[in-house]
Every structure is written in structure tokens, then in C-alpha cells.
């Protein structure tokens, strides 16, 4: 049955999403006291065939690294939407948040302290039990300080409770809580305005940008993982490799 289900939806979903669906189905079967062998040929052969057909490499959103982020921020003005986007991009990057975590934040979840922001994540993609997590975003005293940007957004919007990040219409009027898709569109729009390839960026670009920039700055792997909350160091190390890609200029080394 699972094999037929995968074959039926294969054209509509990415290979990564299909693999997650299989893992989710297996977990639900275990919770119900039932067995589901994902290594059974009916399942494994379908996935293997799809990998051969499509290739196993995943398309990853371009990382919004610190230089690119600053490039995007330089295009922002002082309008309400600009202040929101500045706060959203800086907080999303500094806290290495998933877009679903970012839009789920309420004002009560973000404490503005003398040291910085104390952000409480109530639930996340890898926290099925809802134990939550607490993250710190320190003050930098620079023009791109996430804490100052967030405080400026709250002051300009007048938001005192409820959703921390909200829609702003073309007349500067506040709307409801942003969706995850809206975050992706904001990232793409601001990247495009900065002269970057908008299509290469997504909501995940902020989180990827933090990990890549931290690795490039020589931050220890475990310190990066503490902020990103990666449960798999294998996944995190992809960003570390990306951050260190041009650390050694082999083109120069071979004499070109």
C-alpha cells in the first residue's frame, strides 16, 4: 500500500518530501503499535527508482550570508514594511529560525533585554513533543543590530501583543500574522531589490545564511548547532563545507 501511495504522488512532490512522508508514516505506525518495514522492496524499490530517475542531489536555497544580507538591508527605507522586513531578516538570520518558527512568534515569546533578545520557540519541526527551546540574540551596537531592528519595528507598528510579525498593506496598515509563504516572498523580494537572483532564495535562506556565515567566521561546529538546533551534524556540516569552500584558493595554488 505504501509503495502504491508513493508511486501515486511521486510526480507532485520532491524526493526529499517523499522520504519525509515515509519516515512520518513509519513513526505513526510505531505509535499505533503496528509494523511498517520501510526497507521492504515495495517501499525501498520505489524510492530507489525515483533516486535513479531524478538523482539524489537536492536543490538547496541560496544562503543569505551576512554580506548578502547587508546588501539587501541597504535597499530598505523607513516605511513600516521596511522596518518589519529589516527586523524579520535580522532576527530570522541571527536566531537561525525556520520560517514556520519565525511566523509563529508572538510578542510574548521575544523578551527585549539589556543583553539582547531572549526568544522562546514553543514548537519546531524537530520538536514533535513540544518541549520548546530558548535562543539568545545578542546586541551588536551596529547599524545591523537585530535587537535594535526588532525594537524599532515594535515601536513603529505599535504592536504590544499577539503576532510579532504581521502583514503590512501598501497603505501602511497592519494586517494579520504572516504566513510561511509570505516570509519566503519577502526574502526573495528583498534579495531581488539588492541585485541578487531572487529565484535562488527562499525562507530557508536566512537559517542557511547564519550557518554558512558562522562557519566562515570560524565559529565552532557545536556552537553553530546549539543555535540552529540541528539534530544531525551531517546536515549541519554541509553548511560548514559551504562556508569554507573558498578558504583555500586551489586555483592560485596550482599556478593559474
Residues catalogued as catalytic: 98, 125, 204, 207, 230, 239
From CA 65, how far away is CA 67, in angstroms rounded?
6
Contacts of 215 (CB under 8 A, 6+ apart): 221, 224, 239, 240, 241, 242, 243, 244
From CA 203, how far away is CA 250, in angstroms rounded?
32
SS3 82: helix
Cell numbers at 222, concatenated: 557545536
Give the torsion through C-alpha atoms of 156, 205, 234, 3, to 10 deg: 110
Amino acid at each position: 500500500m505504501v509503495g502504491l501511495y508513493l508511486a501515486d504522488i511521486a510526480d507532485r512532490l520532491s524526493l526529499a518530501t517523499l522520504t519525509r512522508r515515509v519516515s512520518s508514516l513509519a513513526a505513526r505506525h510505531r505509535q499505533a503499535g503496528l509494523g511498517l518495514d520501510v526497507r521492504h522492496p515495495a517501499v525501498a524499490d520505489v524510492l530507489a527508482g525515483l533516486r535513479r530517475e531524478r538523482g539524489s542531489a537536492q536543490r538547496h536555497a541560496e544562503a543569505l550570508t551576512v554580506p548578502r544580507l547587508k546588501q539587501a538591508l541597504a535597499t530598505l527605507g523607513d516605511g513600516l514594511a521596511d522596518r518589519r522586513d529589516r527586523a524579520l531578516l535580522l532576527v530570522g538570520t541571527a536566531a537561525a529560525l525556520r520560517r514556520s518558527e519565525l511566523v509563529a512568534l508572538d510578542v510574548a515569546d521575544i523578551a527585549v533585554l539589556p543583553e539582547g533578545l531572549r526568544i522562546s520557540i514553543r514548537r519546531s519541526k524537530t520538536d514533535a513533543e513540544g518541549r520548546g527551546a530558548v535562543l539568545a540574540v545578542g546586541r551588536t551596537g551596529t547599524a545591523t543590530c537585530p535587537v535594535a531592528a526588532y525594537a524599532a519595528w515594535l515601536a513603529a507598528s505599535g504592536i504590544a501583543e499577539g503576532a510579532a510579525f504581521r502583514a503590512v498593506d501598501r497603505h501602511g496598515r497592519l494586517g494579520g500574522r504572516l504566513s510561511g509563504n509570505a516570509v519566503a516572498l519577502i526574502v526573495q523580494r528583498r534579495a531581488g531589490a539588492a541585485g541578487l537572483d531572487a529565484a535562488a532564495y527562499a525562507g530557508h535562506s536566512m537559517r542557511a545564511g547564519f550557518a554558512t556565515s558562522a562557519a566562515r567566521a570560524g565559529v565552532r561546529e557545536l556552537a553553530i548547532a546549539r543555535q540552529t538546533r540541528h539534530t544531525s551534524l551531517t546536515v549541519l556540516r554541509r553548511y560548514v563545507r559551504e562556508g569554507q569552500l573558498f578558504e583555500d584558493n586551489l586555483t592560485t595554488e596550482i599556478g593559474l
